[in-house]
Structure 1
């Protein structure tokens, strides 16, 4: 049985992933990508109008999934009855993080490109966008704790931002290291235990 040859579009994506992985988006050369394929620039433009469009085709759907899944978890948690939120906090955040981990491992090369090669694109703000979503959700949850008679002490906004940023960067390190999935799952459990205990202490809920 003859092995099926990759399509031209698949070859473009393969060459683009290699170029972006090696050089990052700002330094990647569309000319180098086209040359490695033995194509003319005009032929390439029949597939994508620019380097930006090509990069977006590789990472855009994965950026959208991660942001959408994270927003979904925050929204579902916020719509729980307030008295249930303290007991459900761990299951909602844990389920979301494991979903994102499994998704990233199913699309590992593209998600690594998203995390390491997106400078100069709209995707470079992935961590910052997730941090802002988490900051808003944290403040909403602190208001709920106050309603329940379990008020949390006021957090310094700079410290809050640093802690949340560190949490996401730690999570994404699992994807960058590309260890076996079973090990990554175990590390994620330990990471969640570490950050959950820390946040409970900071919020006066331990």
Structure 2
């Protein structure tokens, strides 16, 4: 029995990525993807049931990397974190903020797929799902800080979700608008000034 030719898989994914980036999911053509990858439509359908499954095969590297970073950030339970670190978690450190922008800048094609090309797929709600996930873990840190008396500000999870949704919009939108790196550096400084979480929660600096 002959073994399937795995060498064409990267060509299909690379061609699909460019087609989705150029035309978006709904207008992307499987025929064009196959032609640019120099494969038959039969070869593509042996690997993917259809266009959405192919799109879902293109975005995992970016999604997996983002989720891994988030996982590292929540490696410690809020109850196991010191008072100092509970407060520091909300510090808008310019160096760390710039690290996030650099990280996303290095994944900008994947980010554009999720942010601007995913309409019609199960990934279309990414811009809502990501802040929702971040809110879940961020609220645990806030609630623990409140329990310890580090902040007297009473905030519902819905309110924090709204604020974090706005926060992540300011992070994602520069990629939608195709900022260059110099513009992103300048934007990062503005974001740090705009979202002063220490003031929001009344933390002592």
Instruction: Identify whether the pair has TM-score above 0.5, normalized to the shorter chain.
Output: yes
* Residue equivalent to 2:144: 144
Give the number of the structure with larger relative contact order, counting CA–CA contacts within 8 Å between residues 6 or more apart. 2
The Cα shift of 1:81 comes to: 1.7
Q: Secondary structure at the match of 1:205?
A: coil
* Residue equivalent to 2:30: 30
Cα distance in 1 for partners of 2:75, 2:176 equals 28
Q: Which of 120-129 and 29-38 deviates more?
A: 29-38
Cα distance in 2 for partners of 1:91, 1:163 equals 14
Cα distance in 1 for partners of 2:192, 2:48 equals 41
Q: Is the 8 A contact 2:25 2:119 kept in 1?
A: yes
* Residue equivalent to 1:205: 203
Q: Which runs of 5+ in 1 are unaligned?
A: 1-6
Cα distance in 2 for partners of 1:186, 1:48 equals 42
Structure 1 residues 73 and 101 mapped into 2: Cα distance closer, same or farther (>3 Å)?
A: same
TM-score (norm 1): 0.75
Superposition pairs for residues 17-166 of structure 1, below 5 Å? 17-37=17-37, 39-76=39-76, 78=78, 79-90=80-91, 95=96, 97-155=97-155, 157-166=157-166
CA RMSD after TM alignment: 3.1
Cα distance in 1 for partners of 2:31, 2:161 equals 40
Deviations 1:32-61 (A, max 9, x none): 423455643113334544323321232111
Q: Which runs of 5+ in 2 are unaligned?
A: 1-6
The Cα shift of 1:167 comes to: 0.9
The Cα shift of 1:69 comes to: 0.7
Cα distance in 1 for partners of 2:16, 2:49 equals 14
Q: Is the 8 A contact 1:63 1:126 kept in 2?
A: no
Cα distance in 1 for partners of 2:21, 2:12 equals 14
The Cα shift of 1:93 comes to: 9.7
* Residue equivalent to 1:3: none
Deviations 1:111-149 (A, max 9, x none): 211211112333223232322233223332332323332
Deviations 1:159-194 (A, max 9, x none): 433221111111011222333324313322320231
Q: Secondary structure at the match of 2:176?
A: helix
